[in-house]
């Protein structure tokens, strides 16, 4: 059974700093990995999707990397801003026979002005 | 604007009652999903549907029912058999069942509270 872990559960950093969020998964036979953002009481917003054949994806100040062999992904946020404060979730989709996402429990990020 | 609309935003249910959560999308997506989110836990899949008139159970389907009579709509009924229904419910859709190349779109959620 695929398990997805995100550590730490919460993180606070001063505005302007670069930061890295971590995601690990137990089954390396993934089809893709996605990073989402969730604001309090809201739905999820898709940030980046990495196919299993890719190593990284970039969107603006966000960069997500994927290392399938080690079962790890990182989300790098450059020059953090207070508006980046949210919970960040990663989710994986298995390669065969399991057309659904398995989510981690998220990292709650607070950017201190 | 294309997107997913969930209603109501907040819902209160008395014990023993069935309630139905609405999910409508105008993205022309084939696949739709219902997830449940509890504090400190990841999202868990309740039901999903790839096409009209077809749906599959997810990991925690007991006490829930769905229908997919129209491509745009995927309502979720929380029945009295669901022992702990208080949670945040999220509906999602994707172009295809895998949601691969195009990713997933989520609604803004319905918070259900049993009183």
Q: Which residues of A touch B98 (CB under 8 A)?
A: 31, 93, 99
Contact A89/B111, CB-based, under 8 Å?
no
CA B25 vs. chain centroid, Å, equals: 12
Contact call for residues A91 and B45 (beta carbons, < 8 A):
no
Contact call for residues B91 and B55 (beta carbons, < 8 A):
no
Give residue A2's pLDDT band: very low, low, confident or very high (50, 70, 90): confident
Please name the member of B48, B101, B108 whose beta carbon is closest to the beta carbon of A100: B48
How many percent of chain B have pLDDT more than 70? 93
Beta partners for residue A74, in sequence order: A22, A65
Please name the member of B6, B40, B103 whose beta carbon is closest to the beta carbon of A46: B103
Residue-wise pLDDT tens digits, B15-61 = 889 999 999 999 999 889 999 999 878 899 999 998 899 999 998 99
Q: Which residues of B touch A33 (CB under 8 A)?
A: none
Residue B101: name the closest of B1, B29, B20 by CA.
B29
Residue-wise pLDDT tens digits, A39-76 = 998 999 999 999 888 999 999 999 999 999 999 999 99
- Cβ pairs A/B, distance under 8 A: 58
Residue-wise pLDDT tens digits, A84-111 = 999 999 999 876 555 678 899 999 999 9
d(CA A29, CA A113): 40
Contact B103/A34, CB-based, under 8 Å?
yes
Q: Which residues of B touch A31 (CB under 8 A)?
A: 98, 100
Residue A46: name the closest of A59, A29, A28 by CA.
A59
In the 8-state DSSP scheme, what is residue B44?
Answer: E
Residue A10: name the closest of A107, A95, A76, A104 by CA.
A107
Contact call for residues A37 and A44 (beta carbons, < 8 A):
yes
Taking CA–CA distances from A40, the nearest residue in chain B reads B108
Taking CA–CA distances from A34, the nearest residue in chain B reads B103
Q: Is A22 a residue whose pLDDT tops 60?
A: yes
Please name the member of A32, A102, A104 whose beta carbon is closest to the beta carbon of B100: A32
Residue B106 at interface with chain A, using a CB cutoff of 8 Å? yes
């Amino acid at each position: 059974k695929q398990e997805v872990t995100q550590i730490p559960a919460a993180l606070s950093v001063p505005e302007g700093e670069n930061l890295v969020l971590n995601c690990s998964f137990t089954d390396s036979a993934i089809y893709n990995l996605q990073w989402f953002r969730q604001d309090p009481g809201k739905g999820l917003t898709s940030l980046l999707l990495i196919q299993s054949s890719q190593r990284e994806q970039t969107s603006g100040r966000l960069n997500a990397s994927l290392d399938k062999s080690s079962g790890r992904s990182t989300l790098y946020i450059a020059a953090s801003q207070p508006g980046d404060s949210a919970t960040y979730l990663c989710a994986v989709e298995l390669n065969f026979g399991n057309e659904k996402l398995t989510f981690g429990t998220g990292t709650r990020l607070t950017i201190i002005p | 604007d294309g997107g997913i609309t969930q209603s109501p935003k907040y819902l209160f249910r008395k014990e023993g009652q069935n309630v139905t959560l609405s999910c409508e999308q105008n993205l022309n997506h084939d696949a739709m999903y219902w997830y449940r989110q509890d504090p400190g836990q990841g999202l868990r899949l309740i039901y999903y549907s790839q096409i009209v008139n077809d749906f599959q159970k997810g990991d925690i389907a007991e006490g829930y029912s769905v229908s997919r009579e129209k491509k745009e709509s995927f309502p979720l009924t929380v029945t009295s058999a669901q022992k702990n229904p208080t949670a945040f419910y999220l509906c999602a859709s994707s172009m295809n069942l895998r949601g691969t190349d195009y990713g997933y779109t989520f609604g803004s959620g319905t918070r259900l509270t049993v009183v």
